[in-house]
Every structure is written in structure tokens, then in C-alpha cells.
Structure 1
Amino acid sequence: MKISNGIENVPKKTIDIGANTFQIFVKSPRTWGNPSITQESAEKFKKNMKKHNLSFDKVLVHSNYLINLASPKDDTWKNSINSMAEEIKAVQSLGITHYNIHCGSHLGKGEEYAVNRITEGLERVYDSLDLKLNICLENSSKKGNNYGFKIEHIGKLFENFKNSEKLKVVYDTCHGFDGNYDIRNDNDVEKLLELMSNSFGIENLRFIHLNDSKSPLNMGKDRHEKIGKGYIGKDGISNIINHSKLKNIPFILETPCDDEEHKEEIKLLKSWL
């Protein structure tokens, strides 16, 4: 949901399109600049969340796209830590309890380097704040030198980060499909959930980015498609939204749609339940 017309208006706009959860940025996702949410706007936002019966624990804030805790470039890495800290302060002022980041790209330095670099970055963020929310690690698309396209990658970060109780997971269906995690039949979904259980604990899966894919399985293109229009299709999406272990998890649409199109997608998804 866009915040350009006032972050305090997001709860009502969410209800208006038939949704009961949402994802926002707290600033432009393509700049390092700090959020500029006033205390007045934050208080109005919290009031409207309660008015429209939306749960602070089941909405999500996505970090800006420049953050890369795996980067070997010191300026990018330090900017990422500082930017995360400033965004988290803004998220906490809104009362939202989950903040989503991509694991990042190691730019060819390797997976072991990425684990250590990300872990140190997370620890610096943690030490700089009174952290009251959960940092959600999102699985990435398998392209370039991204870290996090394997479920086991995320498990490694849980193992290494000393404050792992503050880590949770967001699973993106398009990114997963890019990384060879098929969900078009029930057995594949069961295998995926079992892998999550073994890697980081299924109880730590808190959100799903529900996206179809413009690219076939295992292509690593990261091209989101409208629900039912891509290679995951109705069968794959239906398997996820109807799985008994996922029925209480919020699903966030990141499909290439405006609000009215999302309204139609939500109707479609509810008809598949």
C-alpha cells in the first residue's frame, strides 16, 4: 500500500479493497534518506489501525531496496546498517512488530563471507537500538550473487546470529519458484515446509509474499506476475493458501497491480479458499 497520501490513511484504504493486512515502506524504497513520519501521523495511524480492527502483529514494513548487509563495500554496508536502524525506529513508532529485509548480495565473495557479513551487520543494528520488533529475513531470487535463495541459507543466519529470537522469515513464492521450490502439487509444499522446519523452525515463518511468476521454475529472474497468470498458476497458489499449516499466516500481494486490480485479486483468492 502507498503512503504518499498519508500513512494514517493506509488502514482504511486496506479495508476498502477487501484486505485485512498490508505491507508498506516507511520512505522511498530507492533512497538512503531517513523516514519523516511525524509523531502526529504515527498516532493517527495507530488510532486508525484499531478503528479498522487491523492487527499490528500481522502487517509488514519492507526495508528500502538499497540495504545490503552482505555487501563487501564498506560504504554500502555501513549505510545499510544506519538505514536499517533509522527505518526500524520509524516502524516502532507505528507500533508495527515485523520489518522485512532481503539478505543481500555478496558480490562474488561467497556464501561463508555473506553469512559472517550479514550476521555482523545484524548484530550492529541490534546493539544500536532498543529493538522491540522482529527482523524478517526474506528468501531471495536465485540471480547474481544473492544470498538467501536457499532455505538453508536463512537457517545459517539463525544459527549464527546470537539474538536469533528476534529473527523471523518471510517466504516469497515467486523467489522460491525461481530457486527451484515448486509448489504446484501437495507433496512439494510438504517438502518445502519440512525443509523450513529443519532449517529455522516453521513457527518462525510469519508472512508469505504471495506472487505468481512470469518465469518458469528455477530460472532466477525475479519477475512477479499477477495471481493465476504465471507459471505457478492456480494450482500452486491454491496449494499455499489452503494448506492447514499456513492458514493463520498473513499473505501479502506484491503483484504488478494497482489498488483496484488488487481488489479483484483478493476476490479471486477468496474464491479459491
Structure 2
Amino acid sequence: MGPRKRKNEDALEDEKEVDNITKKEEAVEEERGGRKRSRGNKYIGAHVGIQGGIWKAVESCVEMGGYSFALFLGSQRSWKRPALDQKAAEKFQEQRCQHGFDPAHILPHGSYLMNCGSPKDDVFEKSQALLVDELNRCSLLGLSLYNFHPGSSLGTITTEQCVEKIAGAINHAHQQTPSVVTVLENMSGQGSTVGGKFSELKSIIHKVRDQTRVGVCLDTCHAFAAGYDLAAEGGVTAMLDEFDQEVGLHYLRAIHLNDSKGKLGCHLDRHEDIGKGNIGISAFRDIVNEPRLDNIPLILETPGRPGFEYPEQIELLYSLCETK
């Protein structure tokens, strides 16, 4: 038997093996509730509430016509919260599977109390402990991503020192928890927050020991307020190119879709409804037609107004997609 024939037969066997694995995975998904929930390659959704039970987040997303969603994992008003109920976690996973949501399209959002870059020892310790708790909650829910604001120096330590503390908290949390990817959010540059510049996100990532477990969520309002001109012609492309050069697109795990009440470079974190702010509808048309943003969650955090709430804004964004 010649080497070429042997090679072809080996390739055929490999293809059969891959096909068998794929069929097994599809069978598992069908057993859990059906096919993956999708609408083309863009997974647009919104931040939803958990009132009445954490599984309600899944139902809320489906009802509004979303294909991805964000949620808080507990109260935003307390450092210490009751443990996540096992039955509630199981019901969440059942709902997720039933409606076909991939864990990669669900992005829990961190508590606003948390400041992993805080120069105050007590706040830093509580933030680090809360990060561990939140990652454990993700694991119980069968989720793979966790998004949070990096932190603030409070103006009393250097940016470099703040970056060290943030990376240290992430490394500690990774040691205490399995697999969940910590997703850093870019910031507007307001006050002494860290993460408004892509170079600052890069600095944090470089200090994380397991870089397979760290990523970035780009918030459009934050980026615009920090000085990245998404409203300009080709602005979305330019921002993604710069992010790729500075950080690397392989770290991009999600987008927060928000127009901006503030002007370019204002450093104000003021979200506006899609097309109603200073970024404008053209940028969001570019976003939903950008191939580099395929297959990641695109999540609204807009204020909403009568007749233009999340369902209407989700449908508007899908209507802008050139490939339906």
C-alpha cells in the first residue's frame, strides 16, 4: 500500500471520528433540550434581572427575543450574600439547556461594590473574597465567563500598583476556582478607574499567570467616552484594529452595546439607547456586520424608554444585519 493511499485512509478515519464526536455532542444537546439558540452569527441580547429566581434570567431573555444575556449573581447591596441554592442552580441549567443557550453567550456581571485594585486593605480583601465567591457561583450555574470592572486606585496609589493588585486578585481567584474565565471590562476613564486605555488592560493580562482564563469585554459607551471615536467613519474597524495590536482579538469575549450621552473623550459613564446618543446608529450597523464580532455575546445595557425597551432595540440591531 502506497503512502498516499495510507494517508487518505487515515484522513478518512479522522473525519469519521470527528463526525461521531459531533453527533454525540448534538445528541447530548437534544437530550438537554434541543439545538443551540441562534440567529445567524450575531448573539444579541441584554442584561436581565433575576427577581423571582435566578433561572428567570433565561426566561426574560427569551421573552425579549434575545440570544445572549448578562445577569447579576446576587444582591448588589451587600458584600456577603446567602449561598446559591443548589436547586435554583439546577433549574437555571435546565432552563439554559431547554432554550439552547451556550454558556459562552451568557455573561454574568460583577458586583459594583468590588474594587480589586483598591489601596484600602479591607476593601481589597472583601473584593478578592467576593471575586472567588462569584466565580464559584458561575461554576455551580455551569457558566464559563465572568465580567467585572477592573478597579480604581482611588487616586492614592499609582496605576501600576493598582494593576498589580487587580492581577493579584485574579491570580488568587483562579487558584481557588476551576475553569471560569475572568473577563475585564474597559472603562470610560472616569476618575481614577483603571482600564480606560487598552494598554492598561494589556498590563493586567500580562500579569495574570493563566492567560487562558482571562479575557476582555468592550463596552461601546466606555470606549467612546475614553476617546475611541466609534462615531467616525470606519471608527469601529479602527478601534478593533487598535485593540488587536495592543491586546489581541483572541482575548475579546464580549461586547456591551451602549450609545453614549456624553461626547467623545468626556470620560463620563453615561449610557444611552441605541442610535439616540453621540455614537449614533451607523457605528452599531458596523458592529452587527463586523465578522470579527461573530459568535460572541453582544449585550445591551441601555436605559430604555417607552416603546424602545430591550425588545425593540434588539430587533433594531438585528434589522441592521446585512445577512439575516
Deviations 1:90-143 (A, max 9, x none): 11100011001101111111211111111222122222x132210000001111
- CA deviations over 1:195-234 (Å, ceiling 9, x no partner): 2212221011010000000111100110000111100110
Counterpart of 1:147, as a letter, is V
CA-atom RMSD, angstroms?
1.5
Tell me which of 185, 198, 212 is aligned to 2:259: 212
The question of 1:192 aligning with 2:277 is answered no
User: In 2, Cα distance between the equivalents of 1:242 and 1:188?
Assistant: 13
5+ residue gaps, structure 2: 1-47
* Structure 2: distance between partners of 1:199 and 1:159: 12
Answer with 1 or 2: which has the greater Rg. 2
> Which residues of 2 match residues 220-231 of structure 1 at below 5 A?
220-231=267-278
Q: What is the match of residue 125 of structure 1? A: 173
Aligned to 1:261, which of 290, 309, 312?
Answer: 309
Match of 2:277, SS state, is coil
1:58: Cα distance to partner?
Answer: 1.1
1:7 matches 2:35? no
Q: How many angstroms apart in 2 are the aligned matches of 1:216 and 1:120? A: 34
Which consecutive aligned stretches of 4+ in structure 1 deviate over 3 angstroms post-superposition? Answer: none
What percentage of residue pairs aligned between the two structures are identical? 35
Q: What letter matches 2:64 in structure 1?
A: I
Distance 2:132 2:300 in 1: 26
Count matched residues: 272
Partner Cα distance (2:73, 2:177) in 1: 19
Indicate if the aligned counterparts of 2:216 and 2:251 stay in contact, CA closer than 8 A.
Answer: yes
In the aligned structure 1, how far is the partner of 2:319 from the partner of 2:78? 38
Matched, 1:25 2:52: no
Amino acid at match of 1:143: Q
Structure 2 CA distance, aligned partners of 1:243 and 1:35? 41
Cα deviation digits, residues 232-257 of structure 1 (max 9, x gap) = 11012112121121122210000013
Report the AA paired with residue 13 of structure 1.
Answer: S
TM-score, structure 2 as length reference: 0.81
Within the alignment, does 1:105 sit opposite 2:152 as a pair?
yes
2:187 to 97, 122, 140: 140
Structure 1, unaligned stretches of length 5 or more? Answer: none
- Return the offset for 1:186: 4.7
Is 100-109 or 182-191 further displaced after alignment? 182-191
Question: Any idea what SS the aligned residue of 2:117 has?
Answer: coil
User: Contact between 2:104 and 2:297, CA under 8 Å: does it hold in 1?
Assistant: no
Q: Quote the Cα distance in structure 1 between the aligned partners of 2:177 and 2:107.
A: 19
C-alpha distance in 2 between matches for 1:13 and 1:187: 34
What do residues 117-171 of structure 1 show as CA deviations (whole Å, max 9, x unaligned)?
A: 11222122222x1322100000011111010000111011111111222101100
Q: Deviations over 1:16-59 (max 9, x none)?
A: 11101110001112321235421111111111111111111211
